[in-house]
Structure 1
Amino acid sequence: MAACFDAIPIPFLRFRTQKQEEMPIQPEPSDKPLENLHSGSNNLPGLTNEQAAQGLVALVDHSQKHTDVSQGIHASSHTLFSIPWIHSLIPGIEKLAAQYHIGNFVAIRGSKEQIFEAMPIYARIGMHLLFYGREQITILHSQTVENLLKEQSIKEGRLYDSPESTASIPSFIATYSLETSELLEPDITKYKTFNEFFSRKLREDARPVENAADPHAFCSAADCRLTVYPTVDLAKEFWVKGREFNIPNLLGVPPASEKASLFDGSSLAIFRLAPSDYHRFHCPIDGTVGDIVHIPGQYYTVNPQAVNEPGFDVFTANTRSVLYLTHAATGLPVAFVAIGALLVGSIVWTNGGEKGKSVQKGDELGYFAYGGSTIIALFPKGLIEFDGDLVANSAVPVETMVKVGNSLGKMPVMA
């Protein structure tokens, strides 16, 4: 099945930040403002829910017949002006792109810079449907928004599982400037479907694990845009604004259950994968694989603006799969929550599906099919002290771009 939207990096929109090592990131003024999309302010007032639904369907159908993803499903605001068919399909989108940058900023770890990442067009339409279509009982062909998003997610997954879909691989590589030299199989003609390329493996030396020999260290689970919070309350203050977001809802367990008690007061790391990212996810700890619990749900977008919207609980509403790990050094549980999203349906476990298997930091656990999505790792209270730069950026709040194996934090030093 398929995966969610996220962001297209635009290298020429780069901003210098403050010089202090862990000061909050403040971009300099740009030529036009960043779009502030939320449920109380519709920046596409001329677009009806029916038109938005038809637009999403047309974008998915377009990906079956046209191989250049940048001219359809992965078009972004800075390229829309050269794609007339999208202008006529989605009224007002060209004017919106002229007025705003549509997307979000991401901090580049290890530098004093951040880049702007443009939101793909299908993500922006999915956001419109989420914010302005859900109150309407039915939309296109008497479907609910939820059913439409699920249907199109399944359809896109099937399209990209077909042998014909390999024709889109070159344009996908060009759109996201992917580095093929780090692939385990760099010959793109060897991939049998687009999804096979999308879930590509990397060379063993492509993602070295920092502090690999330290049993008290933790590492990033994915190539991603990362936010970290020592407590759920801080996560809700700065980032996850959904009113129903809490640990029991995320794990799909009763509030009075043993699982809820084990993770009460836990710290959390949120790994957001964009379409451009390597989409296999890896173990953040040295430990043992435990049970997996699948939780059916919706296919809403997991773009930061959806996560930051108080009226929507995308993480606890979306389809997800929870892997419970046991931390080797302490015996404490760690919950690894893989979350599907718009045009993301498939969550595939590899080593993570082998209960009782010993895993080390950086070992592969599984992968997402096409698109992008999110992982949330929950660490019991007091188990992890996140790296200072990640904490500082998350309090801005801004995501930090990291790679699999990069340092996430360490166990705190006990007095």
Structure 2
Amino acid sequence: MASGQHAAEGAEHEALALVLEHLVSAGPVHKTPDKLQPGTSDHNAITPAPISVQGHTHWWGRFFPGHMESTLDRLFAAHHMGNYVAVRGQPGKRIFESMPIYVRVGMHLLFYKSKEQSFLRYKSVEELLQTVSVRQGKVYDDESDPQAVLEHIQKFIATYSIDTAELLQPDPSKYPNFNSFFFRKLRPGARPIAEPDNASIVSSCADCRLTVFDNVAASTKYWIKGDGFTINRLIGDTNLADRSFPPGSSLAIFRLAPADYHRYHHPVGPTVCGPTRHISGEYFTVNPQAVNANFDVFSSNRRDTLLLNWTPKGAGTPVIPVAFVAIGAMLVGSIGWTNANQGTSVQRGDESGYFAYGGSTIVCVFPPEAKVQWDLDLKDNSANGIETMVRVGDRIGVSNA
């Protein structure tokens, strides 16, 4: 009986693994080439984050009257089938971000329950996510077929309504591979920095969906539901966390979806960069469906922690440490740094680094002595479990230190 039960569980595992593999890849891993293929440029099923600003067609509209859309949005959000995002500067406006149903089902299998109860209890599933992520990085670095590269870039632009006019290189045919477009540069002035001469301002480090919290307790009440989330685990250095980020430290969580500009910038300045700690980990998605689940995605994923030494009152005043944690995710095997070497002096808004393909997250941690006061609209939205769309350089708070 025991052997029969074991065999049944093994068969179930293999069946589910095949389903998951189909959900997160273009086909079986062992049969999928490591090169970009023409005619495979759809950016939907393989995208582990919702389409950001373009409208979506409610498939359920065929079955329900139009006036029920808002009710259904709320119902779907409550059952992890989508999430709301607020649009800054447009009070009361919220976008319901949906994902293809097959991707949502796959994420549900992975993240609905605790890790011990979910699909992630199988080591082979974690290995699959890593294999798919690493392979996809190679595919999007491939330059062997320029026409396939151009096809993928053009489809990506159309799918996500990318404004090519703001790009430093607006011609999609000039990018040698897909990743070079994914972490594309913007033309000077495309992202103005709020109050650039005010060193006490905190600005968004990315084009993203943002949540802010005055302390870890608030973040775990309204947003991060993973068991055991702590600053210590997040930054991967207990001594640093205990010394510099005690209870009462505040957080800003910047989630980048695939449509977003994927270079990130320093959120404070003037700043002197400290050391960067590289932490190995998994390749879980950082979509809200995972973050709102029962285990700690942020502290499980591969990530880099950069320590920033900020002087919000200017040179010669007390230095305030800020932890800048860049978190990789499903289909994101690469975290790149461009202006963050230890000892480098930077200003708020200066480029810091980039993510290769996929959706990713940055978490910034500010100690109590920073006395960061988050902008009220962001605090209110976050307390209601709603992300707010912001762009690089937008003001998000101020230090009253």
TM-score range, shorter chain: 0.7 to 0.9
- Of residues 82, 85, 90, the one that matches 1:103 is 82
Alignment partner, residue 191 of structure 1: 175
Q: Match of 2:125?
A: 145
| Per-residue deviation, 1:397 | 1.5
Mapped to 1, the partners of 2:119 and 2:368 lie a distance apart of: 43
- Distance in 1, matches of 2:132 and 2:331, equals 7
Deviations, residues 215-258 of structure 1 (Å, cap 9, x unaligned): 1111100000000001011101111111110000001123xx24
> How far apart, in 2, do the equivalents of 1:236 and 1:365 lie?
28
- Out of 242, 247, 251, the residue aligned to residue 268 of structure 1 is 251
Residues 291, 218 of structure 1: alpha-carbon distance in 2 compared, 3 angstrom cutoff: same
Question: Structure 1 residue 320: deviation in Å?
Answer: 0.3
**Conserved 8 A contact 2:17-2:125:** no
- Higher mean displacement: 115-124 or 266-275: 115-124
- Unaligned 5+ segments in structure 1 are 1-46, 82-96
Q: What is aligned with 1:398?
A: 386
Question: Residue 186 of structure 1: CA displacement?
Answer: 0.6
The change in CA–CA distance for 1:137 and 1:217 in structure 2 (over 3 A counts) is closer
CA contact (8 A) 1:56 1:125 kept: no
CA distance in 2 between partners of 1:408 and 1:65 (Å): 42
Deviates more, 1:68-77 or 1:392-401: 68-77
Within 5 Å, which residues of 2 pair with 1:227-376? Answer: 227-254=211-238, 257-264=239-246, 265-286=248-269, 287-309=271-293, 311-329=294-312, 330-352=318-340, 354-376=341-363
One-letter code aligned to 2:300: A
In structure 2, what residue type is equivalent to 1:344?
Answer: V
**Are 2:76 and 2:82, in contact at CA under 8 Å, matched by a contact in 1?**
no
Moved over 4 A (4+): 59-63, 74-81, 120-123, 132-139
1:409–1:195 distance in 2 versus 1, CA, 3 Å: same
In structure 2, relative to structure 1, the CA distance for the partners of 1:249 and 1:111 (3 Å cut) is same
Q: How does 1:81-120 map to 2 (within 5 A)?
A: 102-112=81-91, 113-120=93-100
What do you get for the CA RMSD once the two structures are aligned? 2.8
The 5 A counterparts of 1:160-171 are 160-163=140-143, 164=145, 165-171=149-155
Q: Distance in 2 between matches of 1:120 and 1:318?
A: 24
Give the letter aligned to residue 19 of structure 2: Q
| 1:66 counterpart residue number | 39
1:10-89 equivalent positions in 2, closer than 5 A: 48-58=16-26, 61=32, 64-70=37-43, 72-74=45-47
Q: Which amino acid aligns with 2:350?
A: D
Q: Which structure would you say has the larger RCO, counting Cα contacts within 8 Å and 6 or more residues apart?
A: 1
Gaps of 5+ in 2: 1-14, 60-72, 313-317
Distance 1:201 1:123, change over 3 A: farther
CA shift at 1:52, angstroms? 2.2
Deviation at 1:280, TM superposition (A): 0.2
Please state if 1:411 is matched with 2:399.
yes
Correspondence 1:379 to 2:366: yes
Aligned-partner SS, 1:168: helix
The DSSP-based 3-state class of the residue aligned with 1:312 is coil
TM score, norm. by length of structure 2 = 0.79
Q: Report how many residues are paired.
A: 346
Contact between 1:184 and 1:203, CA under 8 Å: does it hold in 2?
yes
TM-score by length of 1: 0.77
Give how far 1:103 is off. 2.0
> 2:305·2:325 contact (CA, 8 Å) conserved in 1?
yes
1:196 alignment partner, SS class: helix
> Identity across aligned pairs (percent)?
49
